[in-house]
Amino acid sequence: MKILDHGSLTLVEAWGGDEQIVEAARMSTGKGFLGWGPKACSKCVGEQHDPNCGVKWMSSGALISPCTCRRPLGCDCGATGIVLGDEKLLRYLWTHKHTSPFEQVGATFEVEAPIFVFREWHRHRTQSYNEMSARYTSLPDKNYLPERCRCNPTLSENRQAQGHRKLPGTLTEVEVDAWLDDLERVYKHAQTIYDRGLDMGIPKELARLPVPVARYSRMRASANLLNWLRFLRLRTSPEAQWEIRQYAEGLQSLLAERFPRTLELFAEGGL
């Protein structure tokens, strides 16, 4: 998945799934995973339940629209015509903050991002990281260059992230383009010094000194699902820096492919 101008995000490996979360929660009962619903209530089928009555459920177990049929008294379906499967337990775990089963599954991602994004990312100390080291290999000549619209100050609740002198939206295109041109020249000059040091035989761990925090690096990050969700809660927030939000939103979409029911619950809120 392409992120920013030169970045990427790849799911390397995922272990477990929504089913394994349910199995972990049932360690005391030994029932394991019994299956997803929803399915027709056995007491209603052939009696008063019309399969076209309009009842709709989300995969996580949330009722979208109720059944309009009349139910027999004492029916187990709760007057919906539908019996839920293990999505009911998954929702219970989530809404009541029984989080340990969500630690039984997880994923590893390979990330290519600017170094300043990694500096924010690494504050999540519940993940395991391995980043390429410029002590042993030369960093590729790829630097993040923001788009013009990203450079203009915007109204934000995070006042520390705003510029100093200009009011939001008051920078001209000429001013922004001039600054971006200066930035590109700095990148090129830094690369020239970097390459010269390598060619001279300066140790890689010192030759890298002029490399800016906008330089792209690569890492692998692993975590259990609970800690990925905690990462997403913070880094998809409007208060998070825009660049790391792009990675967080991409990561959320990749996790949703492997853990669709849990990510549906996460999208509803909580944690």
CA distance 16 to 34: 16
Inter-axis angle of helices 87-95 and 18-25, nearest 10:
70
- CA quadruple 149, 151, 152, 158: dihedral sign: positive
Greatest CA separation for the chain: 87
CA distance 143 to 40: 56
* Set 71, 208, 215, 235: catalytic member: 235
CA distance 10 to 186: 30
Structure tokens at 81: 């015509």
| Pairing relationship of beta strands 2-3 and 106-114 according to DSSP bridges | unpaired
CA distance 7 to 15: 25
In a 10 Å sphere around its CB, with 0-12 CB exposed, 13-18 middle and 19+ buried, how is residue 235 labelled? buried
Q: Is 235 a catalytic residue?
A: yes
Structure tokens at 183: 């930035």
Q: Residues with catalytic annotation?
A: 235
